[in-house]
Amino acid sequence: MPQPKLTLFTRPDCPPCDWLKAWLRERHLDFEEHDVSIDQKAVFQLVRTYKSQSTPTLVIGEQVLIGFEPEKIEAALKTTPR
């Protein structure tokens, strides 16, 4: 079964960002990463589109999850259409 699109907003020196990336990789989930420290377009998208000013922010389909909360991520992955 294909996975939903995952978009991850991160920045360097962000331990929760590293934890989330490792968690996703352990589960063999592909994600598109945007480093907000070097990508101004990503900053605009993060703030304007997804209403977040924090990293990590993970977008799963239409769901926006801020921070590293594995239980919420698993629930979102199960309920997001592929």
Question: Contact at 8 Å (CB) between 14 and 38?
Answer: no
Amino acid identity at 78: K
Please give the model's pTM, rounded to 2 decimal places.
Answer: 0.93
User: Which candidate, 23, 14, 18, places its Cα nearest to that of 77?
Assistant: 23
Q: Which CATH number fits domain 6-79: 3.40.30.10, 3.40.50.2300, 3.30.450.20, 3.40.1280.10?
A: 3.40.30.10
* pLDDT tens, position by position, 32-64: 999 999 999 999 999 999 999 999 999 998 899
Q: Are 59 and 39 in contact (CB under 8 A)?
A: no
Name the one residue in this structure whose structure tokens are 């589960």. 27
